[in-house]
Structure formats: structure tokens, C-alpha cells
Amino acid sequence: MKFRKNLEAAFLVAAVVANFASYAVASAQAPEVVRGAPAAVVANPAVNPKMAVVVVKAHRLTAAEKAALN
């Protein structure tokens, strides 16, 4: 029981410290982010021909074929 109370207190202290730290860091200038290609260009295979596309075609097994596998 004592361990749980101590763990709860440690969690609350960590939450309070993290809350104040987030406010302290929020006032600092954000670093410059290097951006890549837009998501629409990457996701569209017609625009990006190097993207590998895997197509799986198969037929469903009948009940007799499923029974034969077991």
C-alpha cells in the first residue's frame, strides 16, 4: 500500500513538472523543420512510378478444399 501511494505521488510530481516544462519550452522559438514532398505526391503511384505496388489475387476455398487442408 505504501508503494502505491509513493508511486502516485511520484506520478503527480512528474505530471506537474512536465506541465510547467511544456509552458517554459513553448515560449522558446521552434526549430526550423525541413519538409519533404507533400503527402499527395508520395501517396499517388501515378506521380511516383518508383513505388512498388503489390497486388494479391486469389480465390476463396470451398468447404471441401478447407476440409482437405486440415
* Confidence at residue 17, expressed as pLDDT on a 0 to 100 scale: 94
Rg from Cα positions in the chain: 28
pTM over 0.85: no
Q: b or e along 13-40 (b: 16 or more beta carbons within 10 Å of the residue's beta carbon)? A: eeeeeeeeeeeeeeeeeeeeeeeeeeee
User: Is residue 41 over pLDDT 60?
Assistant: no
With cell 506521380, the residue in question is: 47
Short-list 27, 24, 4, CA closest to 16:
24
